[in-house]
């Protein structure tokens, strides 16, 4: 698969940090060009500076708005002259017990995590029809299937489960266009994903999580997810990985938290 991504252009949503930035860096390291999308332009500017302005372009947009995404994707396609793939990575979570869920936080998670995947895929499909080995990757979460990832993330987990079900239909619908579709389900890794979480809500989530069991899996880095996405994108035309779950595999006591 050496050189499979050379000069291909990929859009990565949520690309300014965490998994998204790691994915973008892995793609560029293997010869690709990337368009990064997130809400915050300053974060995007910093990410582009890390990757290199010759290889990356950052465009601020709200993935929960189809109009915003359409404008951003067109700008990226015009800048690079083509589009070969989309990585639906943008996502967020706010921990809380179901009884205490805040309406605005629920709506934001659904809008970003699920509807963002729907709208981005909608906008990208016609752009990808002329792409080289075109692909759409959707990023799910081990929280959609495993109870021991973190407690009090019911809405986040539900939106990621919805992403997986949506991906199944997406795969069937775009086969005739030669677009490969893959769902990647990462487990926990060291990121800044929890930045900005309410301290009291986080404390309650951690306490409930520790009651699930005394140990957890640890040891995965964001780079492992970046490499998993790159591997999926580099499959030959006519071949697609349907679902890939990548999780840490080092048994670690939860008492470290």
Q: What is the DSSP string of 204-224?
A: HHHHHHHHH-SEEEE---HHH
- What average pLDDT does the chain have? 92
Scanning the structure block, which residue is given the tokens 């639906």? 88
- 16 catalytic? Reply is yes
- The backbone torsions φ and ψ at residue 64, rounded to the nearest 5 degrees and listed phi first, read -80, 0
- 156 catalytic? Reply is yes
**Per-residue confidence band for 22, with pLDDT thresholds at 50, 70 and 90:** very high
- DSSP 3-state assignment of 14? coil
Alpha carbon distance 45, 15 (integer Å): 11
Q: What is the mean pLDDT of residues 201-228?
A: 80
- 147 catalytic? Reply is no
User: Following DSSP, what letter does each residue of 68-127 receive, concatenated?
Assistant: HHHHHHHHHHHHHS---EEEE---------GGG--HHHHHHHIIIIIIHHHHHHHHHHHH
**Per-residue confidence band for 250, with pLDDT thresholds at 50, 70 and 90:** confident
What is the pLDDT at residue 1?
Answer: 56
Which of 10, 16, 25, 143 is catalytic? The answer is: 16
pLDDT-above-70 percentage for the chain: 93
Q: Kindly tell me if the per-residue pLDDT of 190 is higher than 90.
A: no
pLDDT-above-90 percentage for the chain: 78
* Domain architecture of the chain: domains with CATH: 9-256 (3.40.50.720)
Q: In the numeric block, which tokens belong to residue 18?
A: 């965490």
Which of 68, 121, 140, 141 is catalytic? The answer is: 140
Q: Which residue has the higher pLDDT, 209 or 220?
A: 220
Strands 250-253 and 215-218: antiparallel
Which of 10, 68, 143, 160 is catalytic? The answer is: 160
What is the pLDDT at residue 192?
Answer: 67
What is the pLDDT at residue 218?
Answer: 77
Which of 25, 121, 151, 156 is catalytic? The answer is: 156
- 2 catalytic? Reply is no
**Per-residue confidence band for 31, with pLDDT thresholds at 50, 70 and 90:** very high
What is the pLDDT at residue 209?
Answer: 65
Q: Are 36 and 24 in contact (CB under 8 A)?
A: yes
- Global pTM value: 0.93
User: What is the dihedral sign for C-alpha 154, 156, 159, 160?
Assistant: negative
Q: For 76-120, how does the pLDDT look when each residue is reduced to its tens digit (9 = 90+)? A: 999 999 999 999 999 999 999 999 999 999 999 999 999 999 999
Q: Kindly tell me if the per-residue pLDDT of 163 is higher than 90.
A: yes
Q: In the numeric block, which tokens belong to residue 73?
A: 């994707």
User: What is the dihedral sign for C-alpha 149, 153, 154, 159?
Assistant: negative
Q: Kindly tell me if the per-residue pLDDT of 57 is higher than 80.
A: yes
């Amino acid at each position: 698969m050496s050189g499979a991504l050379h000069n291909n252009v990929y859009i990565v949503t949520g690309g300014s940090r965490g998994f998204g930035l790691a994915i973008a860096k892995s793609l560029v390291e293997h010869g690709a060009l990337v368009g990064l999308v997130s809400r915050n332009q300053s974060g995007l500017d910093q990410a582009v500076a890390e990757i290199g302005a010759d290889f990356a372009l950052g465009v601020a947009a709200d993935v929960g708005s189809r109009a915003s995404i359409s404008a951003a994707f067109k700008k990226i396609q015009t800048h690079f002259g083509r589009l070969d793939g989309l990585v639906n990575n943008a996502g967020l979570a706010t921990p809380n017990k179901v009884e205490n869920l805040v309406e605005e936080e629920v709506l934001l998670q659904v809008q970003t995590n699920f509807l963002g995947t729907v709208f981005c895929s909608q906008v990208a499909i016609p752009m990808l029809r002329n792409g080289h080995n075109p692909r759409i990757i959707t990023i799910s979460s081990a929280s959609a299937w495993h109870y021991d990832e973190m407690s009090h993330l019911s809405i986040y987990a539900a939106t990621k489960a919805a992403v997986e079900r949506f991906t199944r239909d997406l795969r069937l619908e775009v086969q005739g266009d030669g677009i490969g579709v893959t769902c990647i389900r990462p487990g926990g890794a060291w990121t800044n994903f929890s930045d900005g979480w309410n301290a009291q809500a986080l404390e309650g989530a951690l306490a409930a999580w520790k009651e699930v069991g005394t140990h957890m899996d640890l040891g995965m880095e964001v780079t492992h997810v970046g490499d998993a996405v790159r591997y999926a994108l580099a499959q030959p035309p006519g071949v697609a990985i349907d679902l890939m779950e990548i999780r840490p595999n080092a048994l670690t006591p939860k008492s470290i938290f």
